[in-house]
Structure 1
């Protein structure tokens, strides 16, 4: 059967091109085989000019880049210029006959691209093509490390390739190499954090670390729109402090869910047995209005197994922050539990960073606090994939106001482009190292100076001293008339003046830190 690889277009899947051009690579394959997949963030086309044009998620190549209008032509173009989109490739391989792929390999048995295509077909579908093992030729990487981040790779003698995919067929997000990620990695934030910590006395560092844990725990609940009691915040903070101590497995995920939920009476613990979505309900009909639809219950066991395998593989291969982003955002898209997914998703960032030794010993970066500071960007990053996934999910409402997914969506949670997520998490980690860690340490130093000055002047209980500090901080370093007439009416004018001078000398311009 011949497939229409289309001609010049202005719009592709509701996305305008910078100029009229002919889709190529993944875009051409999606069109020709009518593949029901989330459209990749970045697409390619062949234009008429003799220079490459980029914009609005498109790269318009010159006529000399044009591939043959065939399955092999566009597959080769995709692997050469676009990198891997495993969701597109798997749906493509499901749509073509096995003999078509086998014929490509027979025609070019030593070809760099045909051997990669051959391996990917068997890896993604778990089916062996009717082909003899490859002749002895130089092995080639499955993932082009000029385009995407990859693992170290294990050789496949059958295909003469190095399988440097960072995950398994059950879960394998990929991240593209970008200028932003190159810059983050070049800054060596791991060593920068250690340099900051090395200048802090041990007792002060312990107090800083304890405050940052509490700050992160509280922020994680605030992101979810919750205001839990202090004991739950502290309990979750203690859990974050233990992140990375044990390898990830299903029992550990269930343990974390129990800590997050606390009260188990109205939430079924463990993997969901029903559908799930993020969004609202229509006020009148109670019909779901989803912003994101979670993975089907029947796919959860496989997806969670894939998450765990990815975490174990990433321990020694992927950059720690990139691995943390792929794992954590993959988890939240899957949404395996009825409740607690958001907090566990952010916990997994701590888990990977701590497990890989990215944090200085005893310190956990307040990633949730950094996320809360840029909450709109966080939601935008989440939607960078959810908005492309949602149109592909066929569903019906249930009587309970939930969703029942009608089509096979598992692959859309296994394979996604985690590049925006990695860039976002790196920005958050940098903020915690450059701002939160030194700011909190400086604040505690200044507070110790302030407390010592007060104690040398007046015998005051800790609770009263903290209250005094609170009034000064709220009022720009001055005691308000209300404070002077009530809680601190016993202070003399001279004491008030000295206290305000002490606050100013201790904190200066840092009173808002």
Structure 2
């Protein structure tokens, strides 16, 4: 890499790394730095450039800004632009700092030793690389946050006197995804969903609430297996449901993840339990050559200890002061991208959502929001969210097939799993949680109220065991409130015509007709 002074920044262009700009414009910020230093990184979801128009244009993954926004064509100019307008992209910054070298960053800081952007860049360099620059501690300048809290979600943070900044990064060097503040996330947060759930639950009779909670727990467990295309025995579904019901009660660590894998797998005769000791991928094999056809390549097994430690540190630290749904999205989707196990990753990934929400008191005590059920209903959106990062990550991973039809990653990819933009994941998860509170919880409690009314009306004129009333209800529910001829001739042959009419009327009164 040439010295910073000799780095050339490109002029106006119509294409950037196979991405077409909406108008011819000059890359700025991260786009310019990626281009000038030839960085091999996942491209940010939105890239910036400056054009000739005096109105900002946002389209096709680009933000084309005006001539007055154009940064000075230097490392300092584009870095300042990135921090000011684009927020932090830690994966890009780390690769950039390695490529630029310490001398370039030292020169940048010495040029403006009290500048807020220079001090943030200085802190980020040492935090990301672990290399202490040859600079005296900052002597002037107001304390500024490393992450702009108006741009991205952050904890309160702690003072870092050497740079006169407040370290409010939501993680450690081992795991620190970031989430941008968007209109969608701000709208969801303003709804105060935990309070809405608490208010609703307070108005539900205790017996109905207990039955609702039991049903939603089982529904979530069953849906989590269904997402994986599995339909295990009822006992295994119930066992996993009990584990979900205890989410948030145990501290998260490596041993807890191993315990959860043992529960979710059940029969482990054909699965290697424990953290992977080789590569991993999600996808298929070519039908003829049996070559791996990856849709997503997991983190290298050599990187797993640090990544797991980072996720545990995030859960015990920054996650405690971030928005609970945002924290749940960061932890859960970070886990599923890392894919530390041979099997069970998807269900544990969704368990981690419950873990964070329960630990933070987001859901009422004893009530599990059936997030997996909401995900199953939005399965195409779920896959699109997962692919939103995997598709940008995949071209950067160099790999070769192994004799066991697995993959062996050949380059250093650890930073791509510890630093990524989890904004789409947080928006998706908030939509799912919103559905469970505004739709699933009320619908199930209303259904049970109506079922109890039907059971009471039937009991008023028929001496029938509870199991038979339940069977009668299911037959009516399946046939739009009417008893079929088969039902009348078999299971409920003893019913008189008059009683059958009253049964159907009771159903319509309690449930209505579909």
Normalising by structure 2, we get a TM-score of: 0.98
Q: Does 1:8 align with 2:12?
A: yes
Counterpart CA distance in 2 for 1:128 and 1:194 is 49
Rounded Cα–Cα distance in structure 2 between residues aligned with 1:431 and 1:163: 35
Question: Which residue number corresponds to residue 49 of structure 2?
Answer: 45
> 2:333·2:349 contact (CA, 8 Å) conserved in 1?
yes
Query: What stretches of structure 1 of length at least 5 have no aligned partner?
Result: none
What is the match of residue 59 of structure 1? 63
Output one character per residue of 1:198-233: Cα deviation in whole Å (capped at 9) or x when no partner: 110111111110100000000000000000000000
How far, CA to CA, are the matches of 2:203 and 2:153 in structure 1?
34
Instruction: State the partner residue of 1:130.
Output: 134
How do 1:47-126 residues align onto structure 2 when only pairs under 5 Å count?
Answer: 47-126=51-130
Equivalent of 1:190, from 181, 185, 194? Answer: 194
**Map of 1:222 onto structure 2:** 226
Q: Map 1:379-394; keep pairs closer than 5 Å.
A: 379-394=383-398
CA distance in 1, matches of 2:129, 2:176: 14
Partner residue of 2:293? 289
Structure 2 partner of 1:201: 205
Secondary structure of the residue that 2:71 maps to in structure 1? coil
Secondary structure of the structure 2 residue equivalent to 1:135? coil
Contact 2:170/2:319 (8 A) holds in 1: no
CA contact (8 A) 1:315 1:355 kept: no
Taking the aligned partners of 2:70 and 2:122, their CA distance within structure 1 comes to 23
Q: State the distance in 2 between where 1:315 and 1:390 align.
A: 28
Number of residue pairs the alignment of both structures matches: 510
Equivalent of 1:360, from 360, 364, 377? Answer: 364
Equivalent residue, structure 1, for 2:23: 19
CA offset digits 1:18-52 (Å, max 9, x no partner)? 10001100001111111010000011001011111
Q: In the alignment, which residue of structure 1 is the partner of 2:181?
A: 177
**Cα deviation code 1:431-458 (max 9, x no counterpart):** 0000000100011111111112222222
Cα distance in 1 for partners of 2:364, 2:305 equals 34
Structure 1 residue 488 corresponds to structure 2 residue 492? yes
Q: Secondary structure at the match of 2:215?
A: helix
The counterpart of 2:239, out of the listed 228, 231, 235, is 235
Deviation of the 1:3 alpha carbon: 1.8
Runs of 4+, deviation exceeding 4 Å: none
SS in 2 for 1:92: helix
Alpha carbons 1:22, 1:46 under 8 Å: kept: yes
Displacement after TM superposition at 1:461 (Å): 2.4
Name the residue aligned to 2:446.
442
Distance 1:368 1:158 in 2: 45
1:507 to 485, 508, 511: 511
Distance 1:347 1:269 in 2: 18
Q: Give the 5 Å matches for 1:230-269.
A: 230-269=234-273
Which string of whole-angstrom CA distances, capped at 9 and with x for unpartnered residues, describes residues 341-388 of structure 1?
000000000000000010011111000000001100000000110110
Question: Helix, strand or coil: the match of 1:11?
Answer: strand
Task: State the match for 1:459 in structure 2.
Answer: 463
Separation (CA, whole Å) in 1 of partners of 2:244 and 2:183: 31
Q: Does the CA-based 8 Å contact 1:288-1:397 persist in structure 2?
A: yes
Q: 1:457 is paired with a residue of what secondary structure?
A: coil
Shift of 1:56: 1.0
CA contact (8 A) 1:315 1:356 kept: no
CA drift of 1:459 comes to: 2.2
Q: Secondary structure at the match of 2:317?
A: helix
Looking at structure 1, the residues matched to 42 and 466 of structure 2 have their Cα atoms a distance apart, in angstroms, of 58
The residue number in structure 1 matching 2:325 is 321
* TM-score between both structures, scaled by the size of structure 1: 0.98
Q: Deviations along 1:166-218, whole A, 9 cap, x unmatched?
A: 10010000000111011001111111111111110111111110100000000
- Residues 147-156 or 465-474, more deviating: 465-474
- Take 1:459 and 1:35, find their aligned partners in 2: how far apart are those partners? 77
Deviation at 1:73, TM superposition (A): 0.8
Contact 1:446 1:507 in 2 (8 A): yes
- What are the superposed Cα offsets for residues 82-122 of structure 1, whole Å, 9 maximum, x if unpaired? 00000000011111121110111111110110000000000
Partner SS state of residue 508, structure 1 = coil
Which deviates more from structure 2 when the two are superposed, residues 326-335 or residues 136-145? 136-145
In structure 2, distance between residues paired with 1:457 and 1:418: 58
SS of aligned partner of 1:353: helix
Q: CA deviation at 1:144?
A: 0.7
Counterpart for residue 378 of structure 2: 374
Which string of whole-angstrom CA distances, capped at 9 and with x for unpartnered residues, describes residues 143-165 of structure 1?
Answer: 01111111101000001000000
Instruction: Provide the alpha-carbon RMSD of the alignment.
Output: 0.9
Q: Deviations over 1:449-482 (max 9, x none)?
A: 1112222222222322222111101110001111
